[in-house]
Amino acid sequence: MNNYRRLLEYAKPLWPQLLISIFFMIIFSLLTSAIAFLVKPALDDIFLKQDAAMLKLLPLGLVAIFIVKGVANYMQSYFIGFVGNRIVANIREEVYYHIQSLSLSFFTAIPSGVLTSRVIYDIAMIQRSVSSVIAGLLKQIFTALGLIGVLFYRDCQLAIIALVILPLLFFPIIKYSRKLRRFSKKGQSQVAELTAFLQESFTGIRIIKAFTMEAYNRSEFYRINEKLFRLMIKRLKVKSLTAPISECFGGLAAAAVIWYGGTQVISGHSTPGSFFSFMTALFMLYGPIRSLNRSNNQVQEALAAGTRVFELLDTEPEIKDAPNPIDLPPFHETICFNEIDFSYEEEKVLDNVSLIIKKGETVAIVGRSGSGKTTLVNLLPRFYDVKSGKISIDGHDIRELTQASLRQQIAIVSQQTILFNDTVRNNITYGRADVNDEELIAAAKSANAHEFISKLPLAYDTIVGENGVKLSGGQQQRLSIARALLKNAPILILDEATSSLDTESEREVQDAINFLMEDRTTLVIAHRLSTITHADRIVAMADGRIVEIGSHQELLEREGEYANLYNLQFKEDN
């Protein structure tokens, strides 16, 4: 019931359109009932009494009824459809906005394909149900009430007989609702798994082909697809049972009414017109009841989808602003990591790390894979929060700052360049809508990107493709650097920004990075140690701890962790 109420909460702001739709539904339902009501005068007055005046009036009345009924049906369908689509659009916006607010740990735990399935498939399931079910449910309820009124008006005793059996028509709704919802929820989870698998297959197609894993992927797809098929068949069995069971009970009701009503007509206690008017209303009543069964099936599917969507909406971000956060003033002095610990679940990654970085310093962080260097820099913009200890900027604990003001003063260039399927211009100016062409071109030139951009088919208006697929690795990285230049943040994080590039591309990107680092406080994670020999200080990490700090020359002379890494890499390069 909680999910019912949550879905209905979205309808509250739309009550004017909802009331208009209900008004026209009532008109539609009354006119539907009027058709059954007119069967009696049609039979008794026209065919039995042969009343010529009624023969003229009744057809005209029927034409008027169907015209007004058609208008009412259109109006109620439009307004309830508007309500349904507006509700779903609002849910989709809320879900997307909420996902944007969640912490990075959430995205590392749930595959992007699963999230995509929830935003698209689950909400589409709600959309189909809300748009059609609200309209169908209310209309069929009003129509059923109108027809029940005709039944009692024509013959109370027959109506009581019919309505004693009528509750049996709702037996499938009661019996199979929970099963249908359970199978629907499992099916939607399986669709999410299939979506995630497809996304991985399409984005990793080069690796799949390079390792000739097509057969393996086909078998995996078959397994996931067959599991979805079996769930859909189970759901189909439940859905398919509801209509036949309802029809059986409906036939029982019709047989009882015909037997009793027929004896009443034969004995002279009722007229053929009254009986056939009653029977018309009864058979017309079966339509709304059958539609209610069908609407219930859609409601259960919507509730299953709604449960998954609401689970997502109820997920709380791990990283939140403090109750009364302050904005970070312009950075001017020091960044301080003070005895910080951090763990991913049960795995400890950082252990009692302390480091002070002064404004304008370039500090390189090096270490073997898994030493904790990337985790350390990810804590600074609060992608994650420390488990103990404190990180402060100019004396302000970053947990007491607004996330927006903190991140506005930090620019990041990483090994994994993120570009959107948009123009070169929009990728560079991302987050800076106020940039003019002169500033844009200046940033591109400083990043050594203007020359290759000018050679693109539409220059700065060229679409770069998904993840910048139309550009080389070096070109992608230079766009990323141009973007960081335009952000003009005082703190810069470089996370192995040149590790995946060839020698020529690395030289061009490194020149751009050197320009980017000017007059900034820079934290550099370096794979190629030759690129950080100029750093003011080098921090060597091992097993989540800082084991050495010093200049390039000082650390070589100590012959410790850094010297081992440097000599090992020097041998590999030669």
Q: DSSP assignment of 529-551, as one string?
A: GGGGTT-SEEEEEETTEEEEEE-
Q: List 365's β-bridge partners, or say none.
A: 525, 539
What the block records as the tokens of 323 is 């109750």
Percent of the chain with pLDDT over 90: 1
What the block records as the tokens of 182 is 């359970």
Q: How confident is the model at residue 34 (pLDDT cuts 50, 70, 90)?
A: confident
pLDDT at position 570 over 50: yes
What the block records as the tokens of 433 is 């809508």
Tokens 């509730």: give the residue: 303
pLDDT of residue 28: 81
Q: How far apart are CA 243 and CA 249, in angstroms?
A: 10
Average pLDDT over residues 268-281: 65
User: Which three-class secondary structure state does DSSP give residue 364?
Assistant: strand
User: Which three-class secondary structure state does DSSP give residue 321?
Assistant: coil
- Most confident range, picked from 267-276, 413-422, 517-526: 517-526
The bridge status of strand 396-397 relative to strand 388-393 is antiparallel
- Ranges of each domain in the chain: 2-313
pLDDT of residue 133: 62
Average pLDDT over residues 313-333: 86
pLDDT of residue 254: 65
Tokens 């859609």: give the residue: 298
User: Which three-class secondary structure state does DSSP give residue 494?
Assistant: strand
pLDDT at position 3 over 80: no
CA dihedral 187, 192, 196, 197 (to 10 degrees): 0
What the block records as the tokens of 345 is 């679940």
Tokens 């030493």: give the residue: 371
Output 55 or 535, whichever has higher pLDDT.
535
Contacts of 274 (CB under 8 A, 6+ apart): 40, 44, 154, 155
Using alpha carbons, select from 361, 515, 550, 379 the residue that is nearest to residue 443: 515
pLDDT of residue 257: 64
| Average pLDDT of every residue of the chain | 77
Q: How far apart are CA 490 and CA 522, in angstroms?
A: 9
Cα distances (angstroms) measured from residue 222 to each of 102, 197, 209, 228: 33, 11, 18, 10
Q: How far apart are CA 91 and CA 89, in angstroms?
A: 5
pLDDT at position 50 over 80: no
What the block records as the tokens of 148 is 């029940």
Query: What secondary structure letter does DSSP report for 328?
Result: P
pLDDT in tens, 378-437: 888 888 888 888 999 988 998 999 988 888 888 888 777 778 878 888 888 887 777 788
pLDDT of residue 241: 66
Supply φ then ψ for residue 232, to 5 degrees. Answer: -65, -35
What the block records as the tokens of 416 is 């994994």
Q: Side chain identity at 134, as an amino acid letter?
A: I
Angle at Cα 291 formed by Cα 290 and Cα 295, nearest 5°? 125
pLDDT of residue 508: 67
Is residue 302 a contact partner of residue 347, using CB atoms and an 8 Å limit? Answer: no
Q: How confident is the model at residue 574 (pLDDT cuts 50, 70, 90)?
A: very low
User: Which three-class secondary structure state does DSSP give residue 55?
Assistant: helix
Cα distances (angstroms) measured from residue 199 to each of 42, 112, 188, 203, 221: 63, 8, 16, 6, 12
For helices 52-101 and 123-154, what crossing angle results, to 10°? 150
Output 290 or 329, whichever has higher pLDDT.
329
pLDDT at position 71 over 50: yes
Q: How far apart are CA 320 and CA 102, in angstroms?
A: 9
Q: How far apart are CA 568 and CA 140, in angstroms?
A: 78
Cα distances (angstroms) measured from residue 347 to each of 106, 194, 353: 17, 30, 16
Q: Which fold has domain 2-313?
A: ABC transporter transmembrane region fold (1.20.1560)
Cα distances (angstroms) measured from residue 83 to each of 14, 19, 131, 520: 6, 11, 8, 52
What the block records as the tokens of 18 is 């909802």
Is residue 453 a contact partner of residue 424, using CB atoms and an 8 Å limit? Answer: yes
Cα distances (angstroms) measured from residue 77 to each of 30, 302, 329, 378, 478: 16, 19, 55, 52, 54
